[in-house]
């Protein structure tokens, strides 16, 4: 009886162990199924992560941030998707286009910098030249003004004349005013003088320039036409004084000017339609006629 009872108890325990084993096997099967399902879900998530964002699992982990809540994160994802959608169709050639435009921009920027550098250098050179021109002009204007005063007095037989800058702070851009006072008259600007006086003042200014900077050759084309006979004589004699440094060719019809010439050239028409040049050397004529 005791053995029978023990055998029955052993059978019962064996049956309980078998049932427990079956339960464990079913649990293991369910866990394996969950593992397989989780692995598939994980693969799908990784595939979706790469497909949508081109991120690997390690890259995603590097950018991981703590979420306050799933709902907020979901809303944020929705907002970002809408923003991405609003960007429109992706331009596949954007990188090549950027490289092309960026290269062009870099080239043009370099060209602009070169131009600005050249501009700055030119402005510096212009500034230096302007300073030198201002200095030289001021010096030469002073010499010319002094020469003009002397020449005017010698030509007019008295009086005075001045050259004045309208703006001494801008001597390269301002005008020059000529003031003259012939003997026995008041000081006036050149615009208020008579025609003959204007011509004589202009001749005085021209002679004063030749005295400061003589030229080897000079042509005068009837510049004394408006002068009276007395002033023509003064003009011709003064030109004779300058003839030592400058050779003058004078076109004139005035006798006083011709009298001071060394050689006269004229055009005659002895026969109708035939012109002939007549040359007279006054110095040779004076020797032949024994005129001093």
Collapsing DSSP states into helix, strand and coil, what is residue 263?
A: strand
For residue 189, the 8-state DSSP code is: E
Domain spanning 132-213: CATH 2.40.50.140:
no
Tokens 């302007």 belong to residue: 130
pLDDT tens across the length of the chain (292 residues): 666 777 777 777 777 777 777 877 788 888 888 888 888 888 888 788 788 777 777 777 777 777 777 788 788 888 888 887 787 777 777 888 888 999 999 999 999 999 999 999 999 999 999 999 999 999 998 999 999 999 989 888 888 888 888 888 888 888 888 888 888 888 778 778 888 888 888 999 999 999 999 899 999 999 998 888 998 999 999 999 898 889 999 999 999 889 888 888 888 887 787 888 888 887 776 566 565 5
Which residues face 247 on adjacent strands? 217
Write phi, then psi, for 273 (nearest 5 degrees): 85, 0
User: Rounded distance, CA 121 to CA 115, Å?
Assistant: 10
User: Rounded distance, CA 124 to CA 127, Å?
Assistant: 5
Identify the H or E element spanning 50: helix 2-53
Packing angle between helix 195-212 and helix 94-156, nearest 10 degrees?
Answer: 110
């Amino acid at each position: 009886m005791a053995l029978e009872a023990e055998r029955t108890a052993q059978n019962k325990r064996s049956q309980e162990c078998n049932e427990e084993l079956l339960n464990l096997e079913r649990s293991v099967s369910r866990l394996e199924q969950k593992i397989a399902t989780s692995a598939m879900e994980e693969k799908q998530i990784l595939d979706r992560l790469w497909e949508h964002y081109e991120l690997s699992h390690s890259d995603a982990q590097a950018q991981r941030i703590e979420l306050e809540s799933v709902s907020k994160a979901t809303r944020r994802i929705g907002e970002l998707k809408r923003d991405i959608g609003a960007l429109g169709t992706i331009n596949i050639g954007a990188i090549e286009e950027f490289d092309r435009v960026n290269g062009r921009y870099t080239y043009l920027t370099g060209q602009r910098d070169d131009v600005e550098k050249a501009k700055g250098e030119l402005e510096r050179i212009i500034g230096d030249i302007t300073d030198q021109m201002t200095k030289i002009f001021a010096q030469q204007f002073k010499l010319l003004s002094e020469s003009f005063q002397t020449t005017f007095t010698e030509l007019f037989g008295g009086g005075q004349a001045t050259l004045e800058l309208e703006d001494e702070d801008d001597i390269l851009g301002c005008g020059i005013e000529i003031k003259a006072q012939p003997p026995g008259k008041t000081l006036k600007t050149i615009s208020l003088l008579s025609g003959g006086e204007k011509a004589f003042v202009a001749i005085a200014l021209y002679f004063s320039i030749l005295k400061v900077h003589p030229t080897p050759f000079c042509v005068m084309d009837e510049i004394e036409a408006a002068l009276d006979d007395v002033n023509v004589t003064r003009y011709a004699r003064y030109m004779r004084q300058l003839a030592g440094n400058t050779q003058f060719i004078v076109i004139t019809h005035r006798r006083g000017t011709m009298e001071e010439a060394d050689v006269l050239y004229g055009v005659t028409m002895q026969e109708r339609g035939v012109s002939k040049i007549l040359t007279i050397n006054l110095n040779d004529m004076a020797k032949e006629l024994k005129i001093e």
